[in-house]
Amino acid sequence: MPPVLAALLTPWDRAIGTAGPGMGGHVVAVADNTLSALGHRVVPTPRLERAFRDARAATEALAAALDGATILPFWRRDAARESLGELAVWLRRAEPNAVTKDLGLGW
């Protein structure tokens, strides 16, 4: 994956892996910030946009579990990580958009 995209994705991965009970809002905020940043760097394709939506939905499900349960169902965290991994696969195929190229961040 291009280093600039990996750097943008890292906080989301960390939030999924480390968030505990009551931190659902934090996880969603990190996901939203990451999605916004990624959206400003790549050419959107239908498959990439679907991966964005799927990763966001899995993160929302994890957030709901974090905020609503005293015992976290670990499969929610695993599903969010798996969905983020799928997004990473599609980001490896992503093309830099014009703004990214103009900033010299293309790959």
Tokens, residue 43: 């050419």
- Domain ranges, ordered by start, for the chain: 3-98
Q: What contacts 48, CB < 8 A, 6 or more positions away?
A: 42, 90, 91, 93, 94
Could you report the per-residue pLDDT of 79-97, keeping only the tens digit for each?
A: 999 999 999 999 999 999 9
Q: What pLDDT sits at residue 55? A: 98
Could you report the per-residue pLDDT of 19-76, keeping only the tens digit for each?
A: 999 999 999 999 999 999 999 999 999 999 999 999 999 999 999 999 987 677 789 9
Q: What pLDDT sits at residue 78? A: 96
Amino acid at 31: A
